[in-house]
Amino acid sequence: MAKVSIPTVTLNNGGKLPVLGYGTWLGFDEKLDPRIFDVPKLIETLSYAIDIGYRHIDTAHFYRVEPEVGQVVNEKIKLGIVKRDELFITTKVWQNYHREADVEVSVRASLKRLNLDYLDQVLIHWPVSVSENGVDEKIDYLETWRGFESVLAKGLTKSIGVSNFNVDQLRRLLANCKVIPATNQIEVNLNLGQNELVEYCQSHNIVVVAYSPFGTMVPGQGPPDSPEPKLNNPTLVAIAKKYGKTVTQITLRYLRGLVSIPKTVTKARVLENATIFDFIIDDDDVKTLAQFNNGYRTVTSNFYQDYENYPFEKPSGEKQQLPSSFLKWKNGVNGDIE
């Protein structure tokens, strides 16, 4: 079996985070319901990822798959394939747990579903707070962060961070916190460089973790009118050929200095995604790739655009109705786990 070696970056608390992780979000179907039917594939592929050397696993309460992630992790530990302290496992607190006391409720529930004693990192999934009935609760994320600092102090997690925070929100958080976030998980890809936000994070020793690193490049991941590049883009194809790599490998390698968490339920892609650390893209090609940066956002969550603390510019087009699947659910492939 092929093995991969994935470098790490040092967090501001001294922890080591592998720069490539396995993302466990399965995406939505056409009704905006999570693709839970893909959980068996996720179990098989995550198992393979750990076998070949992945040590960074990214999940969330919202993803519904914490029980299955925990099942795979615990099985690999039991078999001696990996030790718990060799893994870096991140989960996230959803929007209806933003009150200070509720953060611990959410984290302990995640630990129970994962069957773990501690987490390596917990993130505020979104700065927006929403009740189980879809009401904007307008809870200050500074209150939420106090709950995060509390679970850190109690040893429930080794680090804490945020996701989908913009520069202004980070600036306000840093001015009012005791613990600086270790990471900010945001969308970064060829279309969406987020240079100002990335530079702000890096200047404050906050590691940027890039989700949706392929943007709308992969077929079916965006509307028909989404911008280039696609997998068959001539410029990308030529650059990939130059280095003897695939277009997606070039895309991941371009995100130098960042951590990325691509998602896939295909074993071949798991191996391909991690086989990117044996080459460097030269400066001229980096400049060429940077020209695709046009500010196009794959993940807008525009149904939150009128909620307090919505972190993005309001998108154009018709506002979507908040999907019922975003409000309350049970976890696991059978939807029977609290």
User: Which residues participate in catalysis according to the annotation?
Assistant: 63
Given a contact cutoff of 8 angstroms between Cβ atoms, the answer to whether 163 and 128 are in contact is no
Residue with tokens 């702000």, as numbered in its chain: 200
Q: 3-state SS string over 195-215?
A: HHHHHHHHHCCCEEEEECCCC
Residue 125 annotated as binding site: yes
Residue 284 and residue 278: Cα distance in Å, rounded?
18
What's the CA dihedral at 141, 144, 149, 155 to 10 degrees?
A: -140
- Provide DSSP, 95-116: GGG-SHHHHHHHHHHHHHHHT-
Residue 323: CB atoms within 10 Å: 14
Residue 135: CB atoms within 10 Å: 12
Axis crossing angle, helix 141-153 with helix 167-175, rounded to the nearest 10 = 60
Kind and range of the H or E element at 44?
Answer: helix 39-52
Closest CA to 143 of 182, 186, 172: 172
Residue 172 and residue 175: Cα distance in Å, rounded?
5
- Provide DSSP, 113-157: HHT-S-BSEEEES-S--B-TTS-B----HHHHHHHHHHHHHTTSB
Closest CA to 233 of 283, 193, 291: 291
Residue at 258: amino acid letter = L
- Cα–Cα distances (Å) from 275 to 18, 248, 261, in that order, read 14, 11, 14
Output DSSP code: residue 325: G
Output DSSP code: residue 263: B
Q: Residues marked as binding? A: 125
Tell me the binding residues for substrate: 125
